[in-house]
């Protein structure tokens, strides 16, 4: 029989409370310290940094890990990793439930497709350089895991949750000691890269007079308008409760799907459960399609999924994921690898910056700065980081850059899925994996720059009338 005053009753609540308290503290620090506000470091990243500092001071005096004390259930680090794992999927599921907008034009469809291909191409580029660095490092540093660099695209391109997922796969299946902490550290460096590169870039543009920083606060009001078919706020069940119920229903279905696939493919169980976010998006989409069918049949009278509340829920889960993921980093298992990690992080910053600058200038000339900042922020952190950078110059989201981030997920998943499977092959054949990544990157760039490579030159009679007159 449990006593309500026992630590094991309160340990999970204590961990969640401390995570949320760190977010509040980070938010207040950002508002109070101009340097932090101007740095554009996400509040969740700053909150994770605060917890790392507090835990470091505690360990200095108490000589034990703060999160592994009785107060946090004696295994708080594992709980932080679980929170990171689940919040990744829950955040994506909430995003998947957001109602789709109207029909897209051919031009916008092309831009969204190109954004998705850019996402995957950047993953591949990060994977090539990351894996190349780790293969060389394994020759120089005894005992270093030669496929560790494949975590760079998951830490930079996909964020904390996926970096930890694959780090866990490498740790459990291939003996990469500290794999989870390695992936989480790479993800933390990605957020710093987003802030550093984004701030430097915007300062350069401001000095050149190319951009005018807008006030981002107004855009928060645009999603609040309620349509006629939305559930009323005052109902027998609260509208927010409905959103949470939909999210967890989809996640439960995703678990059943993963359980079944794990039983059918026992040798790939860790990989199957590592794709919890992807299968969660699949089940959420199926639930949404089923609800739309019921509404067309007039069984449902209202739209149960609310775009505004689903966005808030998604942001909550991602904030909690990031702060928990950073707090879960165990620096002690990485003490021999810091040089490699920092080199990998710096290279990730540079190649992501340069490649996305080239793509934005070439394929998105009408809003190249907005597209670049959104993509660079997302591909070094998360979609939320991309939005943070974008809001500095496009606070009201007047350009299509923000929509590109949302709708690019489908082509990115289609083209990116083979790479996710390929990542689990890297520990077995790192050199062959590297060669495949290079070939895959070349193919994706042919697809991305297809209009420039295969574009038909205009004949003289096809030239615009104005050009003919000038001639």
Q: Output the 3-class SS for 259-292.
A: HHHHHHCHHHHHHHHHCHHHHHHHHHHHHHHHHH
In a domain, 400, yes or no: yes
* Bridge partners of residue 303, in order along the sequence: 230
Contacts of 267-276 spanning 24+ positions with Cβ under 8 A: 270/168, 270/169, 270/172, 270/173, 271/169, 271/421, 271/424, 274/165, 274/166, 274/168, 274/169, 275/420, 276/85, 276/86, 276/88, 276/89, 276/165
- Whole-model pTM: value is 0.73
Residue 219 is predicted with a pLDDT of 42
The pLDDT value recorded for residue 287 is 93
Q: Is residue 412 part of a domain?
A: yes
385: enclosing H helix or E strand: helix 383-393
pLDDT at 457 (0 to 100): 52
Residue 58 domain-assigned (yes or no): yes
In a domain? residue 227: no
**Is residue 296 situated within a structural domain?**
yes
Q: Distance (Å, rounded) from C-alpha 151 to C-alpha 183?
A: 6
Q: What is the pLDDT of residues 71-116, one digit of tens each?
A: 988 888 889 888 988 988 898 888 888 776 555 677 888 898 999 9
Residue 68 lies in a domain: yes
- Residues of the chain short of pLDDT 70, as ranges, are 1-2, 40, 100-104, 210-236, 333, 384, 395-397, 456-471
**What number of other Cβ atoms are within 10 A of residue 25's Cβ?**
16
Q: Which residue has the tokens 């991602």?
A: 318
Neighbours of 56 (CB within 10 A): 11
**What is the span of the domain harbouring residue 18?**
7-219+234-454
Query: Phi and psi dihedrals of 463, rounded to 5?
Result: -65, 145
Report residue 312 as tokens. 């808030």
463: left (phi over 0), alpha (psi -120 to 50) or beta: beta
| Residue among 151, 206, 68, 125 nearest 337 (CA) | 151
The total number of structural domains that make up the chain: 1
């Amino acid at each position: 029989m449990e006593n309500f005053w026992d630590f094991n009753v309160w340990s999970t609540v204590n961990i969640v409370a401390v995570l949320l308290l760190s977010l509040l503290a980070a938010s207040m620090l950002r508002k109070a310290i101009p340097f932090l506000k101007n740095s554009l470091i996400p509040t969740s990243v700053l909150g994770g940094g605060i917890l790392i500092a507090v835990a470091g001071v505690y360990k200095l005096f108490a000589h034990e890990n703060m999160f592994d004390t009785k107060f946090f259930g004696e295994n708080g680090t594992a709980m932080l990793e679980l929170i990171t794992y689940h919040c990744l999927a829950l955040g994506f599921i909430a995003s998947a439930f957001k109602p789709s907008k109207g029909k897209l034009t051919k031009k916008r469809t092309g831009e969204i497709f190109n954004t998705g291909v850019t996402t995957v191409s950047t993953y591949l580029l990060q994977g090539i350089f990351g894996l190349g660095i780790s293969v060389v490092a394994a020759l120089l540093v005894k005992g270093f895991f030669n496929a560790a660099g494949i975590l760079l695209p998951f830490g930079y391109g996909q964020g904390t949750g996926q970096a930890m997922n694959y780090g866990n796969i490498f740790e459990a299946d291939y003996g990469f000691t500290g794999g989870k902490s390695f992936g989480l550290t790479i993800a933390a460096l990605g957020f710093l890269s987003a802030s550093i590169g984004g701030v430097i870039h915007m300062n350069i543009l401001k000095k050149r007079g190319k951009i005018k920083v807008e006030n981002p606060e107004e855009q928060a009001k645009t999603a609040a308008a309620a349509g006629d078919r939305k559930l009323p706020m005052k109902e027998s069940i609260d509208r927010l409760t409905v959103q949470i119920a939909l999210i967890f229903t989809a996640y439960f279905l995703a678990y059943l799907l993963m359980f079944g696939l794990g039983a059918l493919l026992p040798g790939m169980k860790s990989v199957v459960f590592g794709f919890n976010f992807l299968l969660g998006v699949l089940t959420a989409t199926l639930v949404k399609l089923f609800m739309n069918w019921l509404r067309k049949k007039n069984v449902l009278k209202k739209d149960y999924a609310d775009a505004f509340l689903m966005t808030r829920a998604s942001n909550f889960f991602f904030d909690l994921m990031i702060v928990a993921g950073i707090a879960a980093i165990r620096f002690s298992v990485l003490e021999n690898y810091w040089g490699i990690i920092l080199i990998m992080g710096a290279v990730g910053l540079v190649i992501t910056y340069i490649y996305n600058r080239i793509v934005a200038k070439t394929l998105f000339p009408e809003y190249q700065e907005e597209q670049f900042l959104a993509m660079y922020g997302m591909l070094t952190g998360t979609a939320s980081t991309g939005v943070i950078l974008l809001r500095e110059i496009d606070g009201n989201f007047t350009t299509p850059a923000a929509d590109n981030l949302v709708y690019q997920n489908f082509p990115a998943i289609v083209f990116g899925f083979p790479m996710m499977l390929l990542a689990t092959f890297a520990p077995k054949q790192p050199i062959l994996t590297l060669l495949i990544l290079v070939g895959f990157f070349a193919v994706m760039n042919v697809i991305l720059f297809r209009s420039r490579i295969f574009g038909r030159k205009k004949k003289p009679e096809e030239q615009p009338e104005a050009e003919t007159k000038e001639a």
